Amino acid sequence: MLLFVSDYYKRVQRQSSGGSCTDYQTDKTGSEITLREEKRRAITWHGTACFSLEYGSDRILFDPFLELAGGSYGADPQELASFDTIFVTHCHFDHLFTAQQLLEETDGDVSVFCTRQCCETLEMFIGDESNVVQIDTGRSYRIGSIYIDVLKGRHIEFQWRHILDTMTPLRVIRYARNLPFLFQANRLFKEAGESVAFHIHAGDRDILLLGSLALDPEECYPENVDVLILPYQGNNDLPARAEEVVKRLNPKSIILSHFDNAFPPMSRNVDLRPFKQMMEKNFPMIFVVKPEAGKPILL
């Protein structure tokens, strides 16, 4: 079932709290009902694989990227620059490059949490590395009242057929101005087998954020999380790859990402209809959201 943002909020609200935004608790004896006020909790997609999470006054940005000329969505650079904490899943340019820009432009007002490969790549661009924190799988990090467990991830395997289908001669000519950047960025920003996933705890909500449409076969991922953030781009077998991930994780709901045309001619808008058909056939009880760029989803 493919839903828009407003429909998703209504469904999750009914599923998680019985139709009410208020959280009722009993004391230890069970004799008294008290009222606990819940903090505002929202996820916002900013295009590509970039999301932000707000929980009360705590705010975190994940995998920031300002799309290239001709991209589907134009994230607000000032909005991305308003975050002081960034987590990055892997070192490809569409996940790390804007984090590097923000480090350079904010004069030490932002901290970036990323893998060893990302740290080594950032060293090539920034002089002061004091705000770059290397993260390791198996460890947990606390940002205010948000807790993030770092899990081993995996990157989807690229296919030459997909690359050729995407970079057609007409699209290469149309977006030729992006080619110098793409050539340089692909040369410098290497994933090097160091993708991670983030298991995020924001109050009583669990979120699993993937940086790519693949799972490590040996990692123990949480099942039945409230929200799975699922990237949907990378090769020509996306419905089959997505089915493998969803079957293993069995989340309550899915928010799609990375389905847009962020860095043409190397990317394109992905047709989501095959994914929708696969989900309706195999996982009809899982709610799927195609987010609107810049519009918060309340959880």
pLDDT at 1 over 80: no
Between 13 and 94, name the one with better pLDDT: 94
Q: One-letter amino acid identity for 239? A: P
Are 129 and 222 spatial neighbours (Cβ–Cβ below 8 Å)? Answer: no
- Residue 224, domain CATH: 3.60.15.10
Mean pLDDT confidence for 286-298: 95
Between 170 and 17, name the one with better pLDDT: 170
Tell me the C-alpha to C-alpha distance, in Å, between residue 71 and each of 75, 200, 260, 264, 269: 10, 29, 8, 7, 9
Residue 291 belongs to what domain range? 2-13+40-298
Between 18 and 183, name the one with better pLDDT: 183
Instruction: Report yes or no on 45 lying in a domain.
Output: yes
Instruction: Report yes or no on 26 lying in a domain.
Output: no
Instruction: Report yes or no on 75 lying in a domain.
Output: yes
Instruction: Report yes or no on 213 lying in a domain.
Output: yes
SS3 139: coil
Between 249 and 39, name the one with better pLDDT: 249
Q: Write out the E strands in 144-194.
A: 146-152
Instruction: Report yes or no on 263 lying in a domain.
Output: yes
Residue 65 in tokens: 């990227």
Instruction: Report yes or no on 57 lying in a domain.
Output: yes
Instruction: Report yes or no on 177 lying in a domain.
Output: yes
Between 164 and 52, name the one with better pLDDT: 52
Eight-class DSSP state of 33: E
Q: Write out the E strands in the chain.
A: 2-3, 23-26, 33-36, 41-45, 51-55, 58-62, 85-87, 111-114, 132-134, 140-143, 146-152, 196-202, 205-209, 227-231, 253-257, 287-289, 297-298
Q: For residues 204 and 180, what is the distance between their CA atoms, to the nearest angstrom?
A: 45
pLDDT at 65 over 60: yes
> What percentage of the chain exceeds 90 in pLDDT?
75
**Number of separate domains in the chain:** 1
Q: What pLDDT band is residue 184 in, cutting at 50, 70 and 90?
A: very high
Instruction: Report yes or no on 27 lying in a domain.
Output: no
Eight-class DSSP state of 103: H
Query: Taking the model in full, what pTM does it have?
Result: 0.87
